[in-house]
Amino acid sequence: MFGNDKRTWFESKVVCNTKNAYLAKVETPRENDWIIQQLFALNKGLHWMGGNTLRKVGEWKWESTNEKIGYTFFHPTEPNSPTSERCLCYFTDDKNAFYWGDFQCSAKLSYICERDN
């Protein structure tokens, strides 16, 4: 589910949880490509996903499982603010491509929820 309203990372997590879902946990290039295709089709920009470094600076984990993030798709200049930007999002660069980046958790962005089948 792609949430169109803008919320903090924490608020987005709660919204996903109320829908028996969680902020997106992107584990494969195929899943990442599918989400990026949807973001292009929706003509959307910044979206929260479920990764963060809230437990330990610099250690990216998925909120839903507390597992370390294996597969990544960070922009070459990201993550760039490990102590102040501790939540994970999709963003577009000036070349109209989507990447992962770190962002301040208190910023209000759209979000992506995922639910297990």
CA separation for the pair 26, 3 (Å, rounded)? 16
Could you tell me where the beta strands, DSSP code E, fall in 53-108? 61-62, 87-92, 98-103
CA separation for the pair 88, 51 (Å, rounded)? 5
Q: What does each C-alpha distance from 62 to 5, 27, 37, 70 come to in angstroms?
A: 22, 10, 22, 10
For residue 92, give the CATH number of its domain: 3.10.100.10
Query: Which pLDDT belongs to residue 34?
Result: 96
Q: Model pTM?
A: 0.93
For the chain, the domain total comes to 1
The greatest distance separating any two alpha carbons of the chain, rounded to the nearest whole angstrom, comes to: 36
CA separation for the pair 92, 76 (Å, rounded)? 13
pLDDT in tens, the chain (117 residues): 999 899 999 999 999 999 999 999 999 999 999 999 999 888 778 999 999 999 999 999 999 999 999 999 999 999 999 999 999 999 997 667 899 999 999 999 999 999 987
Collapse the DSSP code of 18 into the 3-class scheme (helix H, G, I; strand E, B; otherwise coil) and give the result.
helix
Query: Which pLDDT belongs to residue 94?
Result: 67
Query: Which pLDDT belongs to residue 93?
Result: 79
What domain range is 18 assigned to? 2-114
